[in-house]
Structure formats: C-alpha cells, structure tokens
C-alpha cells in the first residue's frame, strides 16, 4: 500500500463558528451528553459559552 506523497492541506476549524443558534447549541450539547463522557461535556459547555460570548461581542462593542 502506497502512502500519499503530497501533504494534506488542512485549515483551522472551531466548532463555535457553527453554534450560532440556540437550536445548534442544544443539538451540540445533546450529542455530547449521549456519549456520557464528563470531560467531553465540559469542553462542549466551554465551546457553547465561547459561542454565546462571540455572538454578543458586536453588541458589546456598540456600548462603548
């Protein structure tokens, strides 16, 4: 079996870019809870908090 000679191009991916609605956040949380892994759930909750903060950031900028 030959291994690919050319490098694979990747780009950064952050889940908070996909968590723009309450429905998306709820689905993300539910998926993590289905695994039952407390560490994963903690990471997901942190992602959701960052997504909410990012969504509110433009509102905060208008207050200054």
Domain span including residue 33: 17-62
> Does residue 29 lie in a domain region?
yes
> Does residue 6 lie in a domain region?
no
> Does residue 10 lie in a domain region?
no
pLDDT at position 57 is 82
> Does residue 51 lie in a domain region?
yes
> Does residue 24 lie in a domain region?
yes
The tally of domains found in the chain comes to 1
Q: For the whole model, what pTM was predicted?
A: 0.74
pLDDT at position 64 is 57
> Does residue 45 lie in a domain region?
yes
The DSSP secondary structure of the chain, one letter per residue, reads -PPPSSPPP-----GGGG--SHHHHHHHHHHHHHHT-HHHHHHHHHHHHHHHHHHHHHHHHHT-
Spell out the per-residue pLDDT of the chain, length 64, in tens: 566 678 888 889 899 999 999 999 999 999 999 999 999 999 999 999 999 999 888 765 666 5
pLDDT at position 56 is 86
């Amino acid at each position: 079996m030959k291994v690919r000679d050319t490098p694979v191009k990747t780009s950064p991916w952050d889940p908070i870019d996909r968590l723009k609605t309450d429905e998306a956040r709820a689905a993300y949380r539910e998926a993590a809870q289905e695994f039952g892994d407390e560490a994963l759930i903690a990471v997901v909750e942190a992602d959701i908090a960052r997504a909410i903060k990012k969504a509110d950031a433009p509102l905060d900028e208008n207050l200054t």
